[in-house]
């Protein structure tokens, strides 16, 4: 048995004190960034929208006035009223409740895609940039091919090949998003590779894998977070487009794009059906986009004030 | 001469990209689905039909042999046979291509005609109400679900105001003009047919606006930021100090230099417009390749989907090549 490390069994307060000491510089930077964000109106507006959507998504089971999949044929296609805030659909289901539950699906898609694409893209980009040479060329040329497709077209082809389902749509969109992260991280890794602390780590015997994990990737994280925020918006748009053309979430699921797809058939007489889910897509994506833009401004050292 | 050498070099670079794009489409169509023969035959085909198809398409052969066969077919313009129409996919796409081209060109023109002036205006009137309005306009643009915008436009201009028609390229009773280019607007002008021209124009307004809105937003922002960057340069101050009229300074000295990033973005946008056409054409019943592919998706017509993917991506690659050449032409500083 290896001797137990001094950290095992310490109380959380002690751990927090040590963490503060070791990461004093990063913590100061974090607090400073938060302060800048609080003074940036776009960042405040964007984070309010995101927070509201996250709240609606988490609280949906408690605040939704009706069961999102309960069919009530006597109330089919009734217009918005106090009882049904956004009206009802062709099976009498409450559209407001369905839209609330749709927020859970869209946010989950956004998080999953950014998690998968951001994770894979960051690792690929860091390896390409750090190792360089033939491996770099091979990785980047492969990713360039993915970028030679318009994103919606490639996602559609992949989702069609995998078969229409929400899970496959998520995988298709994630695949399309990988090169964005990889290119960004590769660029940063090229710069980090030349820094003195990398040489120091090499001299003290660190392996390449360890350096990539502990030095290269952490130094790219702030850019990855900015891109991730912007990609959540784009992901929600592409995923709902796939659902709209029938390749994402399948009908009983209260996904926004799928709801609009069905609502389109009732557009001329029941305007509310397609209108409200679309408003929620628009507002959510605006939230992520303006927050991401503000975050980029705040984290950019050239225009940081 | 140097420009020609640059073009030749770019064409050489194109070869690996083309190989890569076709290889990826091959992988998607032959390797990913559990059973490509079942996909291609359609869900309702009998077991023998699927087996026959598998043998006749060579799907029982090793993968590299299939790839060579596939590439050989591509070189001869063979994109497979559509399950739905029972015709070669290449023929189908050829029929639907002009409508998509017309819509894309109309959207592109709209982007430039509205996006350029709006971008210039918000750069000149920076941080004034016009600039704020144009910022809101572009934030909405990049966040807009295209298919929903289309439906809202239909609700407003077709159902409520009844100003514009909501579907197709022409009213039902009208005959299309004699096909020269396949673009109704151009053909009607060539024929001197006023009523058809104006009818086609009224049909294209809503879909073209819907499709262009996202890129309108992008182009407005790019023109604004590159104009602002240029307007802060010393030579602009010099031009002003020399007593040139403000309009000359802005339009001649600033605009020309700020066009370079705009051209790049415009080129990239054309490809994305082709993607957006999938949604726009579906909403407005526009008989182009985008509507064709969505109908194919609903029918699980796999060869048609893959043919569309390949054609659109290859167009995207060639458009970007053209843009790079224009870019080199516009900017003499570029490294060859």
Residues 6+ apart with CB under 8 A from B322: B267
pLDDT of A161: 87
Greater model confidence, A252 or A128: A128
B42: closest CA of chain A, how far (Å): 13
- Rounded alpha-carbon distances, angstroms, from residue B142 to A37, A286, A287, A290, B9: 22, 8, 12, 10, 35
Q: Which CATH architecture has domain A33-304?
A: Orthogonal Bundle (1.10)
> Region B282-310: what's the mean pLDDT?
88
Short-list A246, A103, A102, A125, CA closest to A177: A125
Residue A241 with chain B: CB contacts under 8 Å: 145-147, 278-279
For residue B236, count CB atoms less than 10 angstroms from its CB and return exposed for 0-12, middle for 13-18, buried for 19 or more: middle
Would the CB atoms of A145 and B317 count as touching at under 8 Å? no
Inter-axis angle of helices A217-244 and A166-193, nearest 10: 150
Short-list A90, A99, A107, CA closest to A68: A99
Residues 6+ apart with CB under 8 A from B266: B108, B111, B112, B215, B219, B323
Short-list B103, B101, B165, B107, CA closest to B141: B107
pLDDT of B154: 92
- Tens digits of per-residue pLDDT, A9-62? 678 888 888 888 877 877 888 888 888 888 888 899 999 999 999 999 999 889
> Could you give all domains of chain B from N- to C-terminal order, each with its CATH number?
14-75 (no CATH), 96-330 (1.10.3720.10)
Greater model confidence, B323 or A6: B323
CB proximity B29 to A under 8 Å:
yes
Inter-axis angle of helices B2-26 and B302-330, nearest 10: 160
Greater model confidence, B99 or A65: B99
- Tens digits of per-residue pLDDT, A141-155? 899 899 888 899 999
User: Smallest Cβ distance to A278: which of B16, B148, B297?
Assistant: B148
Q: How confident is the model at residue A2 (pLDDT cuts 50, 70, 90)?
A: very low
A28: closest CA of chain B, how far (Å): 32
Would the CB atoms of B143 and A163 count as touching at under 8 Å? no
Please answer whether residues B146 and B279 qualify as being in contact, where contact means their C-beta atoms are separated by less than 8 angstroms.
yes
Q: What H or E segment, with its residue span, contains residue B206?
A: helix B194-231
Gap between the Cα atoms of B48 and B54, Å rounded: 10
Least CA distance to A286: which residue of chain B? Answer: B143
The residue to which tokens 């833009």 are assigned:
A293
CB proximity B27 to A under 8 Å:
no
- Tens digits of per-residue pLDDT, B72-92? 888 888 888 887 888 898 998
Percent of chain B past pLDDT 90, that is, above it, reads 16
Would the CB atoms of B147 and A289 count as touching at under 8 Å? no
A29: closest CA of chain B, how far (Å): 28
Residues 6+ apart with CB under 8 A from A283: A49, A53
A168: closest CA of chain B, how far (Å): 12
Considering chain B, what is the average pLDDT of its residues?
Answer: 84
pLDDT at A250 over 80: yes
Gap between the Cα atoms of A71 and A75, Å rounded: 9
> Region A255-264: what's the mean pLDDT?
91
pLDDT of A118: 95
pLDDT of B334: 61
Gap between the Cα atoms of B193 and B33, Å rounded: 49
The residue to which tokens 């998690």 are assigned:
A115
Residue A245 with chain B: CB contacts under 8 Å: 278-279, 282, 294, 297-298
Least CA distance to B318: which residue of chain A? Answer: A148
pLDDT of B128: 87
Greater model confidence, B307 or B330: B307
pLDDT of A82: 84
Q: How far apart are the first and last CA of chain A?
A: 52
pLDDT of A193: 87
Would the CB atoms of A281 and B33 count as touching at under 8 Å? no
pLDDT of A45: 92
pLDDT of A272: 86
Would the CB atoms of B275 and A150 count as touching at under 8 Å? yes
Short-list A167, A152, A170, CA closest to A245: A152
CB proximity B293 to A under 8 Å:
yes
pLDDT at A3 over 50: no
- Tens digits of per-residue pLDDT, B36-65? 677 666 667 777 877 887 777 777 777 788
Please answer whether residues A181 and A118 qualify as being in contact, where contact means their C-beta atoms are separated by less than 8 angstroms.
yes
Task: Tell me the sheet residues that pair with A94.
Answer: A88
Gap between the Cα atoms of B108 and B66, Å rounded: 39
Q: How confident is the model at residue A1 (pLDDT cuts 50, 70, 90)?
A: very low
CB proximity B282 to A under 8 Å:
yes
Helix count and strand count (H, E) for chain B: 14, 0
The first and second tokens of residue A62, run together, are 């408690």
> Region A157-161: what's the mean pLDDT?
90
- Tens digits of per-residue pLDDT, B246-280? 888 888 888 877 887 788 777 777 777 888 899 99
pLDDT at B11 over 70: yes
Task: Tell me the sheet residues that pair with B88.
Answer: B81
The domain spans of chain A are 33-304
Q: How confident is the model at residue A243 (pLDDT cuts 50, 70, 90)?
A: very high
Helix (H, G, I), strand (E, B) or coil at B94: helix
- Tens digits of per-residue pLDDT, B202-213? 999 999 999 999
Of the ranges A1-5, A53-57, A61-65, B289-293, which one carries the lowest mean pLDDT score? Answer: A1-5
Please answer whether residues A234 and A240 qualify as being in contact, where contact means their C-beta atoms are separated by less than 8 angstroms.
no
Q: How far apart are the first and last CA of chain B?
A: 11
Write down the pTM of the prediction: 0.88
Q: How confident is the model at residue B167 (pLDDT cuts 50, 70, 90)?
A: confident
pLDDT of A85: 80
Please answer whether residues A176 and A211 qualify as being in contact, where contact means their C-beta atoms are separated by less than 8 angstroms.
no
Residues 6+ apart with CB under 8 A from B48: none
CB proximity B73 to A under 8 Å:
no
Please answer whether residues A264 and B283 qualify as being in contact, where contact means their C-beta atoms are separated by less than 8 angstroms.
yes
CB proximity B63 to A under 8 Å:
no
> Region B150-178: what's the mean pLDDT?
86
- Tens digits of per-residue pLDDT, B141-153? 889 999 999 999 9
B284: closest CA of chain A, how far (Å): 11
> Region A205-232: what's the mean pLDDT?
89
> Region B157-174: what's the mean pLDDT?
84
Task: Give the ipTM of the model, two decimals please.
Answer: 0.87
pLDDT at A305 over 60: no
Residues 6+ apart with CB under 8 A from A163: B33
Q: How confident is the model at residue B328 (pLDDT cuts 50, 70, 90)?
A: confident
Q: What H or E segment, with its residue span, contains residue B214?
A: helix B194-231
Gap between the Cα atoms of B167 and B4, Å rounded: 45
Q: How confident is the model at residue A248 (pLDDT cuts 50, 70, 90)?
A: confident
- Tens digits of per-residue pLDDT, A85-132? 888 888 888 889 999 999 999 999 999 999 999 999 999 999 999 998
Cα within 13 Å of Cα(B317), Cβ side? 24
> Region A215-237: what's the mean pLDDT?
90
What is the SS3 assignment for chain A? CCCCCCCCCCCHHHHHHHHHHHCHHHHHHHHHHHHHHHCCHHHHHHHHHHHHHHHHHHHHHHHCCCCCCCCCHHHCCCCCCCCCCCCECCCCCEHHHHHHHHHHHHHHHHHHHHHHHHHHHHHHHHHHHHHCHHHHHHHHHHHHHHHCCCHHHHHHHHHHHHCCCHHHHHHHHHHHHHHHHHHHHHHHHHHHHCCHHHHHHHHCCCCHHHHHHHHHHHHHHHHHHHHHHHHHHHHHHHHHHHHHCCCCCCCCCCCHHHHHHHHHHHCCCCHHHHHHHHHHHHHHHHHHHHHHHHHHHHHCCCCCC
pLDDT of A242: 93
pLDDT of A112: 95
């Amino acid at each position: 048995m290896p001797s137990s490390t001094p950290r095992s069994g310490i109380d959380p307060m002690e751990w927090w004190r040590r963490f503060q000491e070791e990461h004093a510089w990063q913590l100061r930077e974090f607090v400073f960034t938060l302060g800048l964000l609080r003074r940036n109106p776009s960042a405040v507006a964007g984070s309010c929208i995101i927070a509201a959507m996250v709240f609606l998504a988490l609280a949906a089971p408690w605040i939704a006035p009706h069961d999102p999949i309960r069919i009530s044929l006597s109330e089919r296609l009734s217009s918005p009223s106090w009882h049904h805030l956004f009206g009802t659909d062709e099976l009498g289901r409450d559209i407001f409740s369905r839209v609330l539950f749709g927020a859970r699906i869209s946010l989950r898609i956004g998080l999953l895609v950014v998690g998968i694409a951001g994770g894979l893209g960051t690792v690929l980009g860091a390896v390409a940039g750090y190792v360089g040479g033939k491996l770099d060329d091979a990785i980047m040329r492969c990713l360039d091919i993915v970028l030679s497709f318009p994103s919606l077209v490639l996602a559609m082809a992949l989702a069609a090949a995998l078969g229409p389902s929400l899970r496959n749509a998520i995988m298709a969109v994630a695949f399309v998003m990988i090169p964005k992260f990889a290119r960004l991280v590769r660029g940063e890794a090229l710069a980090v590779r030349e820094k003195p602390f990398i040489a120091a780590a090499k001299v003290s015997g660190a392996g390449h894998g360890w350096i990539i994990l502990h030095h290269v990737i952490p130094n790219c994280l702030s850019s990855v977070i900015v891109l991730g925020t912007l990609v959540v918006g784009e992901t929600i748009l592409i995923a709902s487009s796939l659902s709209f053309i029938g390749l994402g979430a399948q009908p009983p699921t209260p996904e926004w794009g799928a709801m609009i797809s069905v609502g389109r058939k009732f557009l001329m007489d029941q305007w509310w059906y397609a209108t409200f889910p679309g408003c929620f897509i628009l507002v959510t994506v605006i939230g992520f986009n303006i927050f991401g833009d503000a975050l980029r401004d705040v984290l950019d050292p050239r225009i940081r004030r | 001469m140097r420009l020609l050498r640059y073009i030749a070099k770019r064409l050489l670079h194109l070869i690996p990209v083309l190989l890569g794009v076709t290889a990826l489409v091959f992988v998607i169509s032959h390797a990913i689905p559990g059973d490509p023969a079942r996909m291609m035959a359609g869900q309702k085909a009998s077991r023998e039909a699927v087996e026959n198809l598998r043998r006749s398409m060579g799907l029982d052969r090793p993968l590299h042999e299939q790839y060579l066969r596939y590439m050989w077919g591509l070189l001869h313009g063979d994109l497979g046979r559509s399950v739905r129409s029972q015709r070669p996919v290449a023929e189908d796409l050829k029929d639907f291509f002009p409508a998509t081209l017309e819509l894309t060109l109309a959207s592109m023109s709209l982007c430039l005609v509205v996006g350029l002036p709006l971008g210039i205006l918000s750069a000149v009137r920076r941080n004034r109400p016009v600039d704020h309005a144009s910022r809101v306009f572009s934030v909405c643009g990049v966040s807009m679900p295209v298919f929903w915008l289309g439906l809202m436009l239909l609700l407003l201009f077709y159902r409520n105001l009844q100003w514009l028609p909501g579907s197709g390229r022409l009213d039902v009773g009208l005959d299309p003009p004699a096909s020269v280019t396949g673009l109704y607007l151009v053909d009607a002008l060539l024929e001197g047919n006023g009523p058809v021209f104006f009818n086609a124009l009224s049909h294209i307004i809503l879909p073209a606006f819907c499709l262009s809105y996202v890129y309108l937003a992008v182009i407005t922002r790019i023109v604004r930021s590159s104009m602002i960057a240029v307007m802060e340069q010393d030579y602009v101050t010099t031009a002003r100090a020399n007593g040139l009229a403000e309009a000359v300074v802005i339009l001649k000295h600033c605009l020309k230099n700020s066009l370079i990033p705009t051209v790049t973005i415009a080129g990239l946008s054309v490809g994305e417009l082709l993607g957006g056409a999938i949604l726009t054409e579906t909403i407005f019943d526009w008989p182009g390749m985008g509507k064709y592919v969505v109908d194919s998706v609903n029918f699980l017509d796999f060869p048609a989907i893959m043919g569309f993917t390949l054609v659109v991506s290859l167009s995207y690659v060639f458009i970007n090549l053209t843009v790079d050449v224009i870019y080199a032409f516009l900017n003499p500083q570029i490294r060859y």
